[in-house]
Amino acid sequence: MELILEDGSVLSGKHFGHPGSVAGEVVFNTGMVGYPETMTDPSYQGQILVFTYPLIGNYGIPDNSVVDELYSNFESSKIHVKGIVITSLTTHYSHWHAIRSLEDWMIEHKIPGIQGVDTRALTKNLRNAGTQLGKMVMEGSDTAFYDPNKENLVAQVSVREPKLYKKGSKRVILIDTGCKQNIIRSFLNRGVSVLRVPWDYDYSDEQFDGIMLSNGPGDPTMVPETIDILKKHLKKDKPIFGICLGHQILSLAAGAQSFKLKFGHRSQNQPCIQVGTKRCFITSQNHGFAIDDQTLPDNWSPWFFNANDGSNEGIRHVSKPIRSVQFHPEAMPGPEDTNFLFDEFVSML
């Protein structure tokens, strides 16, 4: 099998997983663990994922247990990456929680993989040249390059109908633009009911105490319907909280502008500093776009910034209970340093 990049680079390796050719945006993740959660994160829709950690598959894949109608060990019901690129596949996994191998799981979900690739050299290429389109091609077959950011990826991963997760008297409207299930679990664990609605659903007539904007894939400008519906609620005083793509959608609704990062932030060790303090939090992240906080209008201010590149990592309204973060306080995988942000939001309801 070969991985072919749009700059002409060709990397050869050994195929594993599903036997098929795929195309998408090639991105890298520097996390050392968490491949089951990462691969089932809807934010990776349309992407070929390079794992920089050399050993993948060593602790296998856990079971499909469900609690409160949510998968306990995954972030959605299926794998969302188009394919994965790794250095070495561990076929003999070892973990008390595992029930099958990574390759068996990928075959079930029809996801191809390529191993034996120098992922260090590949990652350096993507860092220097920027994120590129690419394709994983089996011998004797080919496929065209595909740019997922030109499509409304959110419509592909959002729920089709509203769904209620009942837990307490307080209720949050969750705008599902590719929601990780641990966001829902984070509210249920705090005794808050969640009404999960599609990305283009007008929730103006629903009864709720706050609005949660979820993570998701792709370019935030591809969901103008979500932005327009949210604009109506920014004029009110209901608490609003956004994560990742939800942060970008909130920022665009407020009047700011977004831009594409050179190679994005995808890892579980991104340092973020709270504006006005020296407090640094280590965060889990997965995004390719960011907000230009210099375009924030009056009454909005930056809340966090990335200690590595200075990019915006959060905004908040100066007087209303409206705020958002670019990173993932729900973790899964990654550190739980900012999990307290859910407590703060719930206290506002």
- Torsions phi, psi for 280 (to 5 deg): -115, 130
Q: Which residues are catalytic?
A: 244, 328, 330
DSSP string, 239-275: -EEEETHHHHHHHHHHT-EEEEEEEEEEEEEEEEEET
What distance in Å separates the CA atoms of residue 135 and residue 133, rounded to the nearest whole number? 7
Helix, strand or coil, per DSSP, at residue 210: strand
Q: Is 72 exposed, middle or buried (0-12, 13-18, 19+ CB in 10 A)?
A: middle
List, in order, residues 6 or more apart from 321 with CB less than 8 Å away: 237, 238, 239, 240, 348
What distance in Å separates the CA atoms of residue 227 and residue 185, rounded to the nearest whole number? 25
Place of tokens 């809807």: 42
What distance in Å separates the CA atoms of residue 261 and residue 277, rounded to the nearest whole number? 25
